[in-house]
Structure 1
């Protein structure tokens, strides 16, 4: 080792590693602010402030009515399934 290394010890590594660490931290920060559509916590999945569980609590009859309204099932199928659900 030459005399140029005596005063530095392991500190020569700091100017090499620190810019890389700063770029990684900045990238993570940009993802959390802009990558999720705005500054909100990652655990927040609701967009209108209501609970995200309301989609799961939809009854079978509501789903049936929506399928019929979209034309996915015929009137006969609707009536048959409705009869099964009510019994």
Structure 2
């Protein structure tokens, strides 16, 4: 009796499923690693204006100045305060 034929032809489907599952796992791992290492789309220069909350505060300040709600002196004073480290 030969031991290489113990599974017969019925056991071959399992090998194909195992290879397919391994290939899918490798692709998923590669996509995950690429997404993990990719930049988020925002350029972070390390400056104080890179904070989203600060950026929002500066945008509000600029909008108020543009609408004439605050004077130039107030605008410059508040902007300097917001940009302090």
Give the TM-score band, short-chain normalised. 0.3 to 0.5
Tell me: higher relative CO, structure 1 or 2? Use CA pairs within 8 A at least 6 residues apart: 2
The structure that is helix-richer by fraction is 2
After TM superposition, the score normalised by the length of structure 1 is 0.42
